[in-house]
Chain A
Amino acid sequence: MSAAAPTVRRIDRKPGKLVPVLVVTLAILAIWYAGAYWMNRSLALDVFARQKVVPTTEQLVDATWSMERPLLPAPHQIAVEVWKTTADQKITSKRSLVYHAWVTLSATLAGFVSGTLLGILLAIGIVHVASLEKSLMPWIIASQTIPIVAIAPMIVVVGYNLLNGQLGVSTDASRFIAKAMISTYLSFFPITVGLVKGFRSPEIMHLDLMRTYSASRAQTFWKLRLPAAMPYLFTSMQVAIAISLVGAIVGEMPTGASAGIGARLLAGSYYGQTIQIWSALFAASLLAAILVWMVGLGGTAVVKRMGMAR
């Protein structure tokens, strides 16, 4: 046998993602429906028992998939709720998920951008200043073990109230800044850790080369460390943007349940609206997935442009 025929080498067309995604989605939906039945069964049986009816299997299945406060809502219930809160509402309405998603997204992006910048700055400092690495790094790590929700009220009191109460920044802006601060706080860390690793990843020989040029630290940084750290940077950024979103959502709690996906989640939770929680969760995940995907896309583009992808 021989490897003849094609005249051009390796036109590696990546196989599409559509079919696998569809198949996996269908499988997950099937498992989900089964799970919904299984988890809600005893609740549904309680309801029937209260009404003193013995349900047929069909009735039971139907009931588990249409409960108002299920343990696990059926996918179509979430879909309906999402539809009702997106397509059926003006996007500026407080009842529109799109509006809430936007509120959260803006804080997420602000937090992500500042977290990334902070993370990069810290990583640069740590890689270049020995006393920073030795004294700061342990405390950066310790800072991340402080439970954010515990310090969030303090951010609110010290930050939000300072801005809003003493500095006269508008309520909305103060809230936004407080949320973005929490996002920043959470997202800088993966960036710092990943980048420190990345900045130190160049081959020894490549660093030696820079030494022979007596390149300044800045030159070594821009021309060697930074390019070499790119794969680390983008992986870290993917983690960071997901965490930023979590931060923004967490930050929506102590600023006074207001607008945003976090507030939706909480409100849903106060009133036992399981389906509303799930639809907010769905919105959050969708948002996260889009953000992570976009960062990934940006990363691939940059790495390709740099000629590192083969």
Chain B
Amino acid sequence: MTSRGHLQPWIALIGLFAMVALPLDSADPTLTLPRAGVLGWSVLVATALAIVAAIRAEQSGIAGVLLAIAAHLGAFVALHLLPTVAGHPGSGYLALVLTSWLLAWALVSELSAVPRPKGFDGLLLRLLVPFLFGLWLLILWEIVVVVLKVPSVLIPPPSAIGARIATSIPTLAADFRQTFLKAVIAGYAIGCGTGFLVAIIVDRIPFLQRGLLPIGNLVSALPIVGIAPIMVMWFGFDWPSKAAVVVVSTFFPMLVNTVTGLAAAQPMSRDLMRTYAANYWQTLFKLRLPEAMPFIFNALKINSTLALIAAIVAEFFGTPIVGMGFRISTEVGRMNIDMVWAEIAVAALAGSVFYGVVALIERAATFWHPSFRT
């Protein structure tokens, strides 16, 4: 931990005073944290310790541990009190939430500044930061939705979504299989594959480069919404029509990126190949494709999320009665918004893992690129 002048602990100190003095419940001004029993007191003590540790900015993991304890104890108490204060939170409650959040934020900054150890610990640390970020997103979401009494048909609290996920595993699994394992994977492979091949063909045959690329651009931005019904018309209701939509929407990013990437080789590297009288394919495989890799992975990454969206959107236009898009569209109509969010959560998780896998492969395949060497 460096001695950068953090502002957060000082603000948290103000928060601490507010937590001590102000009421938790505007309907019951007598309820303050110090009067909320052992839990209330432990939050105050933990917060105070964490603030002291953070301000003194000591060289240690102790500050981090204290921050973690205080922030999450605070969150726990806030959630614990949530049913009591729903609809009429007091200023002390807000202070509790905001202070805990601030401490969590300080914790995330601390963790990000830690030099990453090697191996498994490093991986854990890498995952811990986004995990904390996401956890706090959910905590704040839960509190805001419940405290403001937002109707659950608009935005359900994460707890309701979690409960829904727990009770709907078989449905979610079936939908995942239909949409992700069939449509997305097939469409992604074919779309990226053809985009790549066409880029090579276009590169190989300058006539096509001049003739096809402008027209290719025409086809490029066909909106998913427009092609989905046509694909259903052509390929039927089941997943092939969804895969076709995925193909169309992943094709263009791959084409553009590959064409750009193939042009990225340094003049001197090209000259070297010329001196070997390397033929087109040798230059392609040994120089231009490696040099194009960062661009190609760029497309693969963008496409990994695009494919999922495309498949889900395509399912709005006629499907068998299974699939993530099907479920989302019908459950909106049934006002089961928690189920909609459950599907969204699955989609987000699947998409992030997909992206993460592509990113890992990228790191392994383009380790030499300056962006990974630093």
A28-B215, A130-B113, A154-B154 are contacts. A265–B210 as well, Cβ < 8 Å? no
Q: Which of B137, B218, B224, B302 contacts A239 (CB 8 A)?
A: B302
- Nearest chain-B residue to A190 (Cβ)? B302
Asked whether, in the complex, the Cβ of B134 is within 8 Å of the Cβ of A139, the reply is yes
Asked whether, in the complex, the Cβ of B332 is within 8 Å of the Cβ of A153, the reply is yes
From B267, B305, B328, name the one whose CB has the most chain A CB atoms within 10 angstroms. Answer: B305
- Tell yes or no: B52 within 8 A of A by CB: no
Contacts of B371 in A (CB 8 A): 197, 200-201
A150-B344, A265-B226, A280-B226 are contacts. A235–B211 as well, Cβ < 8 Å? no
Interchain nearest-CB distance for B328 vs A (Å): 5
Interchain nearest-CB distance for A41 vs B (Å): 14
Asked whether, in the complex, the Cβ of A131 is within 8 Å of the Cβ of B253, the reply is no
Q: Which of A137, A144, A154, A284 contacts B155 (CB 8 A)?
A: A154
- Tell yes or no: A75 within 8 A of B by CB: no
Q: Which of B210, B233, B260, B344 contacts A21 (CB 8 A)?
A: B210
- Tell yes or no: A47 within 8 A of B by CB: no
Interchain nearest-CB distance for A272 vs B (Å): 10
- Nearest chain-B residue to A22 (Cβ)? B211
- Tell yes or no: A78 within 8 A of B by CB: no
- Tell yes or no: B217 within 8 A of A by CB: yes
Contacts of A130 in B (CB 8 A): 112-113
A144-B305, A150-B344 are contacts. A277–B350 as well, Cβ < 8 Å? no
A292-B221, A310-B267 are contacts. A284–B226 as well, Cβ < 8 Å? yes
From B113, B332, B355, B373, name the one whose CB has the most chain A CB atoms within 10 angstroms. Answer: B355
Asked whether, in the complex, the Cβ of A204 is within 8 Å of the Cβ of B374, the reply is yes
- Tell yes or no: B352 within 8 A of A by CB: yes
* C-alpha gap A215/B132 in the complex (Å): 33
- Tell yes or no: A115 within 8 A of B by CB: no
- Tell yes or no: A238 within 8 A of B by CB: yes
Interface residues of A in 61-94 (CB under 8 A from B): 71-72
Q: Which of B108, B344, B350 contacts A135 (CB 8 A)?
A: B108
- Tell yes or no: B316 within 8 A of A by CB: yes
- Tell yes or no: A168 within 8 A of B by CB: no
Interface residues of B in 300-333 (CB under 8 A from A): 301-302, 305-306, 308-309, 312-313, 316-317, 324-325, 328-329, 332
- Tell yes or no: B45 within 8 A of A by CB: no
- Nearest chain-B residue to A146 (Cβ)? B344
* C-alpha gap A87/B45 in the complex (Å): 76
Contacts of B355 in A (CB 8 A): 141, 145
- Tell yes or no: B227 within 8 A of A by CB: yes
Contacts of A236 in B (CB 8 A): 298
Asked whether, in the complex, the Cβ of A235 is within 8 Å of the Cβ of B256, the reply is yes
- Nearest chain-B residue to A130 (Cβ)? B112
- Nearest chain-B residue to A236 (Cβ)? B298
Contacts of B253 in A (CB 8 A): 190, 239
Asked whether, in the complex, the Cβ of B226 is within 8 Å of the Cβ of A17, the reply is no
A204-B373, A289-B217 are contacts. A265–B256 as well, Cβ < 8 Å? no
Q: Which of B155, B220, B222, B351 contacts A145 (CB 8 A)?
A: B351
Interchain nearest-CB distance for A245 vs B (Å): 5
* C-alpha gap A150/B313 in the complex (Å): 8
Asked whether, in the complex, the Cβ of B218 is within 8 Å of the Cβ of A285, the reply is yes
B150-190 near A? 1/0 per residue, CB < 8 Å: 00001100000000000000000000000000000000000
Asked whether, in the complex, the Cβ of B370 is within 8 Å of the Cβ of A24, the reply is no
B287-301 near A? 1/0 per residue, CB < 8 Å: 000000011001001
A139-B137, A145-B347 are contacts. A289–B222 as well, Cβ < 8 Å? no
A16-55 near B? 1/0 per residue, CB < 8 Å: 1101111111001000000000010000000000000000
Q: Which of B225, B257, B306, B374 contacts A250 (CB 8 A)?
A: B225
Asked whether, in the complex, the Cβ of A265 is within 8 Å of the Cβ of B155, the reply is no
- Tell yes or no: A293 within 8 A of B by CB: yes
Contacts of A289 in B (CB 8 A): 214, 217-218, 220-221
Asked whether, in the complex, the Cβ of A147 is within 8 Å of the Cβ of B126, the reply is no
Contacts of B308 in A (CB 8 A): 145, 147
Q: How large is the interface on B (under 10, 10 to 19, 20 to 34, 35 or more residues)?
A: 35 or more
* C-alpha gap A175/B130 in the complex (Å): 34
Interchain nearest-CB distance for B218 vs A (Å): 4
- Tell yes or no: B361 within 8 A of A by CB: no
Contacts of B306 in A (CB 8 A): 144, 243
- Nearest chain-A residue to B369 (Cβ)? A201
Asked whether, in the complex, the Cβ of A231 is within 8 Å of the Cβ of B264, the reply is yes
Asked whether, in the complex, the Cβ of B208 is within 8 Å of the Cβ of A292, the reply is no
Interchain nearest-CB distance for B103 vs A (Å): 14
A142-B351, A144-B305 are contacts. A17–B214 as well, Cβ < 8 Å? yes
Asked whether, in the complex, the Cβ of A20 is within 8 Å of the Cβ of B211, the reply is yes
Contacts of B225 in A (CB 8 A): 246, 249-250, 253, 262, 265-266
* C-alpha gap A201/B374 in the complex (Å): 10
* C-alpha gap A146/B234 in the complex (Å): 27
- Nearest chain-A residue to B308 (Cβ)? A145
- Tell yes or no: A178 within 8 A of B by CB: no
Asked whether, in the complex, the Cβ of B224 is within 8 Å of the Cβ of A235, the reply is no
Asked whether, in the complex, the Cβ of A242 is within 8 Å of the Cβ of B294, the reply is no
* C-alpha gap A134/B115 in the complex (Å): 12
A197-B294, A201-B371 are contacts. A134–B217 as well, Cβ < 8 Å? no
Contacts from B to A (Cβ < 8 Å): 108-109, 111-113, 126, 129-130, 132-134, 137, 154-155, 206-208, 210-212, 214-215, 217-227, 229-230, 233-234, 249, 252-253, 256-257, 260, 264, 267, 294-295, 298, 301-302, 305-306, 308-309, 312-313, 316-317, 324-325, 328-329, 332, 340, 343-344, 347-352, 354-356, 369-371, 373-374
Q: List 18 A-B contacts (CB under 8 A).
A: A15-B210, A20-B212, A21-B214, A23-B207, A131-B111, A134-B129, A139-B133, A139-B134, A139-B137, A144-B309, A147-B313, A148-B313, A231-B260, A235-B256, A249-B226, A269-B229, A284-B222, A285-B221
Known contacts A147-B347, A193-B301, A204-B373; 17 further A-B pairs (Cβ under 8 A): A20-B211, A21-B210, A21-B215, A130-B113, A131-B108, A135-B112, A142-B352, A145-B308, A145-B309, A145-B355, A147-B309, A148-B309, A246-B223, A246-B224, A261-B223, A285-B218, A293-B214
